[in-house]
Structure 1
Amino acid sequence: MQRIFFAGNIKFLRDRKKLSQEALAAKLGLTRAKLAAIEAGNTKSPQPEDYLNFSEFFKISIDTLLKIDLSKLGELKMRELESGNDVYIRGGNLRVLAISVDRSNNENVEYVPVKAKAGYMAGYNDPEFIAGLPKYSLPNLPSQGTFRIFPSTGDSMLPVPEGSDIIAQYVPDWTAIKPDTPCIVILKGQQDFVFKLVTMNPDDTILLKSLNPAYKPFPVEASDVMEIWRFYAYTSREFPEAQPEMTTILTAIRNLEEKIGQISK
């Protein structure tokens, strides 16, 4: 007989969202006593509408709520599950990135200006908020994927100049990110975006590293990350400075080594 994990999963998900029994019961239209009985496993046969309400609220399929012990999954697996990548879901993901399209039904490239950064944290998945952002059509972008433009601040990613506009592609599957991939990272509770080299750690944390060695790398919990956008290109109004003499010498040495290697072959 297959074990049922529904009761423990509901408590686990409630704790994950940092909700009290009273708060979750109010959101679902239940009494606290009924929710307490469900979490304790004292209600052997919840009503069908209860299953549906829990599934819709937590964005996880009923099958998964019943058959999978969610407390045994790692943070990245939980993030993937909550993003709609549920093996029991058919017909598409539950979480869809909000986008806007032009008259030809092609995706726009939205620009998130500095003054809209705080609003983006709250409205990143709100179609009305996204529709209100400035929109551009950029040449030579890949036909697949969703792109946005984020203004950079600070000097942590020099030699990419401060104030550059970073064109980045949405990353739905974080596990596919290669070590030290430059990305825009949207963190919970932050009023700014983070432009860093991203590495996924085995312990479900994410290491964020700057190109500028003056800034030390630091890890963040995967649960604190809202979105990751992979660097594609950047534009800047600053003219690049001339290379330092030592850099020029090293470049010449590398070019000479390549030519010698070609000749020896």
Structure 2
Amino acid sequence: MSLVSENIKYLRKLHHWTQGEFAEKINIKRSLVGAYEEGRADPRLNNLQNMSKLFGVSVDAMISRDLTGKTHEELEALNKSSGGMKVLSITVDEEDNELIDLIPQKASAGYLNGYADPQYLEDLPKFQIPSLPRSGTYRAFEITGDSMLPIRPGTIVIGQYVDSIHDIKDGRCYIILSKEEGVVYKRVFDYTKEHGQLFLVSDNKAYSPYRVDAGDVIEIWEAKAYLSMEIPEYADDDLSFEQLKNIVLELQQEVIKMKG
């Protein structure tokens, strides 16, 4: 049997799950679990990722390291030493293309409990954006509040999954899922080496920055795009409405002269 086969079998038994119970948790057939454990089939990437999330170990560890004999504590330490972030569950279409799961405002509270549950993700709205690079994994979040103006409440922010907390680029916008705060959208600064914390900053200066312990962070998504139903109004330093009308009138006069 291959290394990944041995690891799947060992980790399942370590959690005291039958093949049927394990199959149900990652939404596959029991017979497929048997094929994986006996080395008769190799797990697809999305199934490996779902197993990784469920076991609390990275995909890299599952396919490249001998995990047999390790305790829960040793596996947890192994995960932390690799940079921290767990691999998440994903959903795909019939052609095995990844879909973007949308977390609406009304579902964001439940996301803290359901982010690792394939059934929870299965019930979420899904869509695709062809222009996004296919190398990344994306999720969309409908944001609330006015802490990140001019991005307004109700805007859908599309984030790309960040594999490690150490990949954060200071000052960029991220969606953070943490045990204490749930889902938030902020600018993030990495002070994990100095203080073991992330500093979260709002674009709206009426909101004070605050800190989140690195150990409480569950998922990080770097903001890559957003969808909004509101067209931005002119800012104070942009053209006034009257100025804009005058420009249109001047253009009309020029067109009349050209026709003459």
Task: Bin the TM-score by the shorter chain.
Answer: 0.5 to 0.7
Question: What letter is aligned with 1:106?
Answer: N
Question: What letter is aligned with 1:138?
Answer: I
Question: Are 1:78 and 2:80 counterparts?
Answer: yes
- Among 164, 169, 172, the alignment partner of 1:181 is 172
| Residue number in structure 2 paired with 1:199 | 189
CA–CA separation in structure 1 for the residues paired with 2:73 and 2:138? 27
How far residue 96 of structure 1 moved from its aligned partner, in angstroms, is 3.1
Question: What letter is aligned with 2:80?
Answer: M
* Count of residues in correspondence between the two structures: 173
Question: Are 1:135 and 2:126 counterparts?
Answer: yes
Which secondary structure does the structure 2 equivalent of 1:169 belong to? strand
- Among 132, 137, 141, the alignment partner of 1:150 is 141
- Asked if the contact 1:166/1:231 (under 8 Å) is kept, the reply is yes
How far residue 98 of structure 1 moved from its aligned partner, in angstroms, is 0.3
Cα deviation 1:107-141 (Å, max 9, x = unaligned): 00000112221221111112221122111011201
- Which segment drifts farther, 114-123 or 229-238? 114-123
Distance 1:161 1:79, change over 3 A: farther
- Asked if the contact 1:58/1:82 (under 8 Å) is kept, the reply is no
Cα RMSD (Å) of the superposition? Answer: 2.5
Question: Are 1:100 and 2:102 counterparts?
Answer: no
CA–CA separation in structure 1 for the residues paired with 2:74 and 2:126? 30
| Residue number in structure 1 paired with 2:235 | 243
How far residue 207 of structure 1 moved from its aligned partner, in angstroms, is 0.4
Which secondary structure does the structure 2 equivalent of 1:193 belong to? strand
Distance 1:115 1:216, change over 3 A: same
| Residue number in structure 1 paired with 2:157 | 166
How far residue 196 of structure 1 moved from its aligned partner, in angstroms, is 0.2
TM-score (norm 2): 0.60
Distance 1:140 1:181, change over 3 A: same
| Residue number in structure 1 paired with 2:209 | 217
Question: What letter is aligned with 2:148?
Answer: M
Distance 1:82 1:222, change over 3 A: closer
- Asked if the contact 2:87/2:163 (under 8 Å) is kept, the reply is no
Distance 1:136 1:228, change over 3 A: same
| Unpaired stretches in structure 2, ≥5 consecutive residues | 1-14, 17-66, 240-260
Question: What letter is aligned with 1:78?
Answer: K
Distance 1:82 1:209, change over 3 A: closer
CA–CA separation in structure 2 for the residues paired with 1:216 and 1:82? 27
Question: What letter is aligned with 1:169?
Answer: Q
How far residue 79 of structure 1 moved from its aligned partner, in angstroms, is 6.6
Question: What letter is aligned with 1:206?
Answer: L
| Residue number in structure 1 paired with 2:249 | none
CA–CA separation in structure 2 for the residues paired with 1:52 and 1:82? 21
Cα deviation 1:191-212 (Å, max 9, x = unaligned): x521100110132210000111
| Residue number in structure 2 paired with 1:115 | 106
Which secondary structure does the structure 1 equivalent of 2:177 belong to? strand
Distance 1:200 1:156, change over 3 A: same
Question: What letter is aligned with 2:177?
Answer: I
Identical-pair percentage: 38
- Asked if the contact 2:84/2:164 (under 8 Å) is kept, the reply is no
Distance 1:121 1:79, change over 3 A: farther
| Unpaired stretches in structure 1, ≥5 consecutive residues | 1-26, 29-50, 66-76, 84-94, 249-265
Which secondary structure does the structure 1 equivalent of 2:195 belong to? coil
- Asked if the contact 2:84/2:165 (under 8 Å) is kept, the reply is no
- Asked if the contact 1:60/1:82 (under 8 Å) is kept, the reply is no
| Residue number in structure 2 paired with 1:36 | none
Which secondary structure does the structure 2 equivalent of 1:194 belong to? strand
Question: What letter is aligned with 1:209?
Answer: V
